[in-house]
Amino acid sequence: MKRILIIIACLLLLPVTGSSQVLENIDQITPFHEDLAAIRKGDKWAFINTKGDVVIDYREDLVISPATENANYPYFSDGKCLIKQKINGVDYYGYIGATGKITIKPQFLNATNFNNGHAIVLRVAKEELGKNDLLDKKVVSYSYDEMVIDASGNSKTFLLGPTHLIYKKDRLRKPPMIQSHFLAPNLIATKSKNNSWTLYTLQTSTN
């Protein structure tokens, strides 16, 4: 009888033991943002939920937010997290959602985290100026505009530009700096070339 009771007790403990999960050899654990926290192993980041489950597996394209945002690690804001991908040797920035799928494809030379439905980005513009008959090549000019996008990636408010761009990977090892920043969820300050400031009030996004 005693042996039977011991076997029953062991069987009752099996589900509890089997449901536990251990994450080991983590180099960095960050605070939670929107119920998701970033964890790092080496150069790769993943996201866990409040139960400790890995919901976005380790990947190399997550963007470490600048120290000016008081969060030197990737994080979710408005349900989006910054990523970057190299295209033709140049880094382009975009966003993923909470499932890890891309919601706004990488297309910006630089970008901020979302803030109350808006983000500040540098969008590239390409203009064909003509054709070089001698080399049989199109002559193109590149520039970028600093602007506000909504949660779908649509342009909402123009801030600065166009700024001439030398589109060569050796000249774009670092992204151009964004000159604007959020003062409040719907208020942006933009610094112009003459060091004066302009304030933009944004309409609340409904997306």
Residues 6 or more apart whose Cβ sits within 8 Å of residue 184: none
pLDDT in tens, the chain (207 residues): 555 444 444 445 555 444 557 888 899 999 999 999 999 999 999 999 999 999 999 999 999 987 667 778 999 999 999 999 999 899 999 999 999 999 999 999 999 999 999 999 999 998 876 666 565 677 688 999 999 999 999 999 999 999 999 888 788 889 999 999 999 989 999 998 888 999 999 986 554
- Which tokens belong to 44? 């790769």
| Structural domain includes residue 132 | yes
Q: Is residue 142 part of a domain?
A: yes
Is 47 a member of any domain? no
Structural domain contains residue 200:
yes
Report the pLDDT value the prediction gives residue 87, as an integer from 0 to 100: 92
Nearest residue to 91 via CA among 179, 171, 163, 182: 171
Instruction: Look at residue 50 and tell me if it is in a domain.
Output: no
pLDDT at 173: 87
Task: Identify whether 14 is part of a domain.
Answer: no
DSSP assignment, residue 69?
Answer: G
Q: Give CA 173 to chain center in angstroms.
A: 18
Residue 199 domain-assigned?
yes
How many angstroms separate the first and last alpha carbons of the chain?
Answer: 64
Model pTM score: 0.83
Domains of the chain: total: 1
Say if CB 17 and CB 26 are below 8 A apart.
Answer: no
Domain with 117 in it:
108-207
